[in-house]
Amino acid sequence: MKKCIHIAIACSLVTGSLLSVSCNKNVFNDEDYEKILDYESPIDSIDATHNWKLFTTHNYSVTANAGYNARKVIVYSAYPLGSSDAEIMAQKEIGDGQTKTISVVTPLDATVLYAALEDADGKYTITRFAASASSIDFSSPMSVRQSMTTQPRLQQHTYCFEEEMPVPGDYDYNDIVLRVSQETVDSRRIQLHVELCAVGGKKQLAAGIRLVGYQYEQLDSVTTEGNQLFTLGGSNYNQEAPTGVLAIWGNQDLLQRGNHGEAAIFLFDDAHWAMGDNITIENSSFTRKYYNVAKNSSASYELLPTRVITYNLYFKEGVNIENFSLASLDVFMIESYNGSNWEVHSYEHRNAQVKFEYTLANTKAQFMPWALVVPYSGFRYPLEGQNIGFRKQGTSFGCYSDAGHSFGEWAQHSDRFHDWYFYPTQNQVY
- pLDDT tens per residue, the chain (430 residues)? 333 323 322 333 333 334 333 344 444 455 555 554 554 556 667 888 899 999 999 999 999 988 899 999 999 999 999 778 899 999 999 999 999 999 999 999 999 999 999 999 999 999 999 999 999 999 999 999 999 988 899 999 999 999 988 877 789 999 999 999 999 999 999 999 999 999 999 899 999 999 999 999 999 999 999 999 998 865 555 666 776 678 999 999 999 999 999 999 999 999 999 998 887 777 767 888 999 999 999 999 999 999 999 999 999 999 999 999 999 999 999 999 888 899 999 999 999 999 999 876 655 555 678 999 999 999 999 999 999 998 888 888 999 999 999 999 999 999 999 999 999 999 999 9
Longest alpha-carbon distance in the chain: 73
DSSP category for residue 348: G
Q: Which of 354, 366, 205, 382 is nearest to 295 (CA)?
A: 382
Axis crossing angle, helix 30-40 with helix 2-13, rounded to the nearest 10: 170
**Do 197 and 159 form a contact (C-beta atoms < 8 A)?**
no
Give the start-to-end residue ranges of the domains of the chain: 2-40+155-385, 57-152
Q: Which of 229, 215, 216 is nearest to 267 (CA)?
A: 229
The superfamily (CATH) of domain 57-152 is: Outer membrane usher protein (2.60.40.3110)
What ranges make up the beta strands (E) of 301-361? Answer: 301-302, 307-315, 329-337, 340-344
User: From CA 301, how far away is CA 215, in angstroms rounded?
Assistant: 40
Q: If you count them, how many residues does the chain have? A: 430
**Do 204 and 227 form a contact (C-beta atoms < 8 A)?**
no
pLDDT number for residue 32:
55
pLDDT number for residue 366:
58
What ranges make up the beta strands (E) of 156-261? Answer: 156-161, 176-186, 189-198, 206-215, 219-224, 255-257
